[in-house]
Structure 1
Amino acid sequence: MAAETGIPSVYLEHQLSHVGRGAKKTKRSLIDRLRHCKSSHSRSWNDSIKTVRSCVGERRSQTDASDSTQVQHCLDTLQKAMKVISPQTLKERLDLIGRQLGLSVQIQEQKISLGMDAFHVEVLLGEDGVINSVKLANQGDVMDCPDLKDILKRGNFSEFVEHLQGLQSIYQVTSDEKLKSKAFLALQALEKDLNQLAQFQNSISGVANYIHKCPLGIMLPRLAGKPMKLIYFVSPYDLLDKKSLTAHPLTVEAITENFLGQSVTVCIEPVPESAPLNKLQTMPLMNVSITQDGKSLPSFSGVSQINSMMLPASFVLVLPQSIPVSSQILQKITSLTNLEIHKEAESKNLHSLILENFSNRPVKDCHKLLVSLPDQQHIYFLNGGGQDQQGVMISRIPFTHPTHVPKILSLMRQQLLFNIVIASCIRTGAKKDTVNSIVFEVSAVSLQQLTIVFEHPAYDTMITVDIDLTDITNLKCRVTCTNTDHVLCSDEAVSRVFQR
């Protein structure tokens, strides 16, 4: 069997050896009885056979609730390891996926259906057993999904499971069957508004401007069960390919194909039980008005009893991983949405959070950072991390109206730009050479302004660098010497560095 499935026999023995502790004890008692029979010279061979048969019959008559579960688990493990090479193995694999996700599964000769009351995914087979099409029936609307068809043809069942789980999550915001359909309508109406808003971004030229100045950045619409994705920030570090030691081009294709930059997904989630209900749209709210000079301008209606409904849920921007956010930014977002943002831990020094997040390890001294370069040794002393620079780690931002999304992304861009600049002072494995190091004092005046002071390498004077972090596409930098106020660096030079 191991040779047929391509699974190592040791792996099968390991899986089958974990059938249950209760079963092991019973087997030990049976083996002890058989050994006793073997050691008894007074018994004949026929008597031994009878004893074995009685022991097996006794074992079959015993009921063990864990046996069926453990055996099914072993069978499922074998099923996952088998390659899908026929219509029958495809049906068995889809049946396994449906059972594990708690979905209803209906298998016919040329159709496999997985889903629940709210939605169904139908896999249609041809006469030769090849997948002809995959259709998604959602709230009565049936649409063809060629992407799901390609996923199944490639045998990428893990990605297929992600789509099913994404569809399930939409309807898990409430246990009320009547409100489940309303949750889908709310998310669908929000996505239509954001899709329409994204059409107004096509007139913006330049990829850097398109990402960092557009209301939504690069928008990837919903694909079956995968939610809408907004790529809203790409730093110079994101473009570096560590494997090839080259830089990706700053193009939309390179960013989307290589999953570069910072992004959020647009979802809907239930609110805590103690939280009040939210009025969410069930119809698109965006309107387009034409000005006197012929330009189209978007506008949004407020929620009302006609276009919305009270639901125990909220829209949410989900971050792929938690990021440090200052208390100031958090307060601005909360005052905008009037919704509480879940904090993953207590607030602490923002610099410490940023350094620990980017270095993936605790930082003993966040005020003194050592950096080893190929030809220089630096020490950075960070200031401005007092009570006014507190931060928390967040991974979800709830909201209730489509106009909240551009404003939230604008604030998050501001935070991420600050994080990237502070994190540039981190180097793992730096040398502890304080004698030959160049000392820099970095002061965070605010999230929009940094001041760097260091000694001139050739003259007995101090240099001050003021960096304006208001806009990543147009960074402003002023470098002056003590007692001269002479500008040594232009804004354009600094901007080009960050746009590359």
Structure 2
Amino acid sequence: MTDLKSKYADKSWSETLQLVRRCLEKTKGDSRVCEPIAKCLQKINEALNVCSLTAMVSRLEMIAKQRGLGSHMSPTETVCYLTADLFYMEVVLLRGGGVEDVRVAHHGEAPVSSPSLLQLLRMKKFQEFSLKLDDLASFYIISGDSDVKIKIYTCLRHLETDLFKISHLPRCLRESDLHVDLIMNGRIGNVQPGKEGTPMTIEYYISPLDVLSGSSSTGEGSVGQTALVTVGSSGASHRLQTESLISSPPQVDSSGLPVFQPLSESCSELLPATFLLKLQPPLPMLTPFIEKMGRITDGVVAEKPQQVEPLPQLLMKTSKALSSEISWTDGVQFVVPLPASEYHSYVFPGAVWGRESWKGVLVHTVPFTHPGHVPALLDLLRHQSAINVLLASCFSGHNQLIDAGLLCDLRCEIRPESDHCLSVTFSLDDNNHLAVLQVTVVDSHQMSCRLMMPDFVDHKLDDYVSRVLMRCMSIPITMRAIRRKVSGRTTPPEPAADPESSAAMESDVISAVHPSVSREAVEDESVTSPPGCSVMSVAAPEPDNANTDAIANRSPCASLGVYSRWVTSGLPAELL
């Protein structure tokens, strides 16, 4: 590079630029390229302004080469093709170097325009375009020749067909928010078909605080847990379906799931691959849950983790709200701020969290081989997500004692008990004795709480605490409710609080635990009509054909109530 600088020191920029462009357009017969020179050429290419057809083609070819894809031009030199075994991309170019359209075609399918990819190229965001291309290629990383890859891709398409059939089976509604009900109670969550080169997506969990943020109302940009339905290579061969396994119309068994056609040689084939649920974001999972997944999929499991860690430690590593400087070591303490200058201290003692049943790993993909595996796998993913949300509710950026003079209103120690059961040990201000709240997470819809205090037994209070926890999925909010309830158990009952003031006060609580939730969002949520009533505006005249009938109860059993009260009648007043 020094010699090149001295050689062209007296040359004009235009002359040097022409020479560089000619070098970039040349192809070498020798496939071996010096790595330093290749990096220099890449930097030069990225620095050049793409303002011609030749420059745009050169940039697309460089991106394709970086991602391991093929590239070639059409005979008319107006379309640049980026090719792989299972898909190809058409970039329709204009004479001046602009982009008219970007189309993605999977094997055996017609090309479909991709507005998002088109926008990236028009804005010359080549780095983002390259990452999108890499994501598209990574969805179908399969070993083998082209024929094997095509067979596996065909199996994936038949799987998607069956998952759609399962998602459209009739079922009883449990929540009035249809989108939340589909995510939490649907047999396979909220299924979205693949589009613009992306695979099928399944939304399978969303927390109550995310519901309050309003992101669930549109069904777009969900902040909950999702899974992409893809395929991946496997060291062993597995029998995968080569046609739909569900009859039309579907026959349903006693559990409400369809009756599947047995996997035989006529409707399946042994292939070196498995279907995958690619979790986004990756989910910290307990090792007992991973073992249960292996039993569901008949022994088809991902590679065994080399190292397991306590679940709270995994959650800390994956939390975006916590600083990377926070270390687990022998445990950690968090100070959670609440409204009215109330502070709770939550301690996770490292020694007790070392038991094997509460250790886990970060799971990125869940392999399976049959569409019937998906409902049971999603139930486990939801169960684990509920446990994670409860533990993470005790996290806060105030992990250090803010100052020596800070007095916490409540000091708690979070300890693991038996499987799916944890305890919160605490002491109230007016009591020198310790109390214990035992929380058992039966599944993502059912949790039981037992409050153990000296000389105090109240099963109604246990039921009350369980309902509070299920509605907010937050240990700090639940402990705040217990503190107020227990401290006033010897005093006469207070009159019912005003609903409007209750909603305003509770909005402060939710905002403290979930800062992204605005006060206005909570108050808007609190003024929705009660269950079974239609909502009409008083500012506009009533439509002639308005349906004012009460909504029928579509479910013969009572709602589990994790979300419905929040959605239909505002926040529960007992949380105050």
TM over 0.5: yes
Aligned residue for 1:226, secondary structure, equals coil
Pair 1:283-2:229 in alignment: no
Aligned to 2:477: none
Residue type of the partner of 1:299?
A: V
Aligned to 2:104: 136
CA deviations on 1:190-224 (whole Å, 9 max, x unpaired) are 22222333334897442433222222323332224
- What are the within-5 Å matches in structure 2 for residues 258-337 of structure 1? 259-272=222-235, 276-289=236-249, 298-337=258-297
Pair 1:179-2:143 in alignment: no
Q: 1:103 to 1:419 in 2, by over 3 A?
A: closer
Higher strand share goes to which structure?
1
Preserved contact between residue 285 and residue 300 of structure 1 (Cα < 8 Å): yes
- What are the within-5 Å matches in structure 2 for residues 138-153 of structure 1? 138-147=106-115, 148-153=117-122
Q: 1:414 to 1:129 in 2, by over 3 A?
A: same
438, 445, 451: which one aligns with 2:423: 451
Aligned to 2:365: 396
Q: 1:303 to 1:103 in 2, by over 3 A?
A: same
Separation (CA, whole Å) in 1 of partners of 2:35 and 2:306 = 38
Aligned to 1:421: 390
89, 92, 103: which one aligns with 1:124: 92
CA deviations on 1:299-326 (whole Å, 9 max, x unpaired) are 3323221221111111112224544321
How far apart are 1:238 and its partner, in Å? 5.2
CA deviations on 1:410-462 (whole Å, 9 max, x unpaired) are 11111122122223333343218699554334343345433334333335665
Q: 1:125 to 1:66 in 2, by over 3 A?
A: closer
How far apart are 1:409 and its partner, in Å? 1.6
| TM-score relative to the length of structure 1 | 0.73
Preserved contact between residue 278 and residue 312 of structure 1 (Cα < 8 Å): yes
Preserved contact between residue 350 and residue 385 of structure 1 (Cα < 8 Å): no
Stretch of structure 1 that moved more, 283-292 or 313-322: 283-292
| TM-score relative to the length of structure 2 | 0.64
287, 302, 316: which one aligns with 1:341: 302
Separation (CA, whole Å) in 2 of partners of 1:339 and 1:310 = 14
Greater relative contact order (Cα 8 A, min sep 6): structure 1 or 2? 2
Preserved contact between residue 310 and residue 354 of structure 2 (Cα < 8 Å): yes
Pair 1:430-2:430 in alignment: no
Aligned to 2:471: 496
Residue type of the partner of 2:214?
A: P
CA deviations on 1:326-385 (whole Å, 9 max, x unpaired) are 12111100111111322443234444444455454431223x634253433524365575
Separation (CA, whole Å) in 2 of partners of 1:123 and 1:65 = 26
Greater Rg by CA: 1
Percent identical pairs in the alignment equals 25
Q: 1:493 to 1:347 in 2, by over 3 A?
A: closer
Preserved contact between residue 227 and residue 277 of structure 2 (Cα < 8 Å): yes
Preserved contact between residue 324 and residue 393 of structure 1 (Cα < 8 Å): yes
Aligned to 2:24: none
Separation (CA, whole Å) in 1 of partners of 2:101 and 2:171 = 33
Q: 1:201 to 1:369 in 2, by over 3 A?
A: farther
324, 328, 340: which one aligns with 1:363: 328
Separation (CA, whole Å) in 1 of partners of 2:466 and 2:439 = 9
Preserved contact between residue 135 and residue 142 of structure 1 (Cα < 8 Å): no
Pair 1:378-2:345 in alignment: yes
- Runs of at least 5 residues in structure 1 that lack an aligned partner in the other structure: 1-15, 18-22, 31-63, 240-246
How far apart are 1:126 and its partner, in Å? 6.0
Aligned to 1:483: 455
- What are the within-5 Å matches in structure 2 for residues 240-259 of structure 1? 248-253=213-218, 256-257=220-221, 259=222
Separation (CA, whole Å) in 1 of partners of 2:348 and 2:140 = 50
CA deviations on 1:166-187 (whole Å, 9 max, x unpaired) are 4544654123232121121122
- What are the within-5 Å matches in structure 2 for residues 6-85 of structure 1? 70-85=36-51
92, 95, 108: which one aligns with 2:61: 95
- Runs of at least 5 residues in structure 2 that lack an aligned partner in the other structure: 8-29, 474-562, 567-576
Separation (CA, whole Å) in 1 of partners of 2:444 and 2:43 = 50
For the aligned residue pairs, the C-alpha RMSD in angstroms reads 3.8
Preserved contact between residue 336 and residue 344 of structure 2 (Cα < 8 Å): yes
Preserved contact between residue 327 and residue 390 of structure 1 (Cα < 8 Å): yes
How far apart are 1:188 and its partner, in Å? 1.6
Separation (CA, whole Å) in 1 of partners of 2:438 and 2:248 = 42
Aligned residue for 1:324, secondary structure, equals strand
